[in-house]
Amino acid sequence: MRQASRQLNVETAGQRLYEITREVQSWVAAQGIGEGLLTLFVHHTSASLLIQENADPRVQDDINAFFRRLVSEDRSLYSHNEEGPDDMPAHIRAALTTTQLSVPVAQGRADLGRWQGIFLYEHRARGRERRITLHLLGE
């Protein structure tokens, strides 16, 4: 049994989903581990991870529109407002999705379903650099 890990930095440009499937699969393939467990972890509290359909990009737009409707940016709802009207909603949208994802590895790749892509979900209005750790355990 072996393990490997890597930092993946993603430059974002505002609230939306950013697909990282290809970068993740390339790194997994290069580790020479046939069967195991891949874990992704995002080191932020206003961005999150999501596995969702990557065939029609409008699915991603509709998901983002839903979360914008669900979590209002009305400042009067929040007490933590110093970091701007999009900050507290960003924390809540992150809490509603996930900070970490694990995917079984089979035949040397993350065993995603046919329509599944891995996304970083940026919840802040302005872009920033987001750090994700990829951790792989297996043999």
**DSSP string of 51-116, one letter each residue:** EEE-SSHHHHHHHHHHHHHHS---GGG-S--TT-TTHHHHHHHHHHSBSEEEEEEETTEE---TTE
**Closer of 3 and 26 to a copy of itself (Cβ):** 3
Binding site for a copy of itself (CB under 8 A): 1, 3, 5, 35-37, 39, 41-45, 50-53, 56, 58-59, 61-63, 65-66, 69-71, 77-80, 82, 88, 91-92, 94-104, 106, 111-116, 131, 133, 135, 137-139
Report the nearest approach of a copy of itself to the CB of residue 108 (Å): 14
Report the nearest approach of a copy of itself to the CB of residue 25 (Å): 15
First to last CA, the chain: 5
**Closer of 29 and 39 to a copy of itself (Cβ):** 39
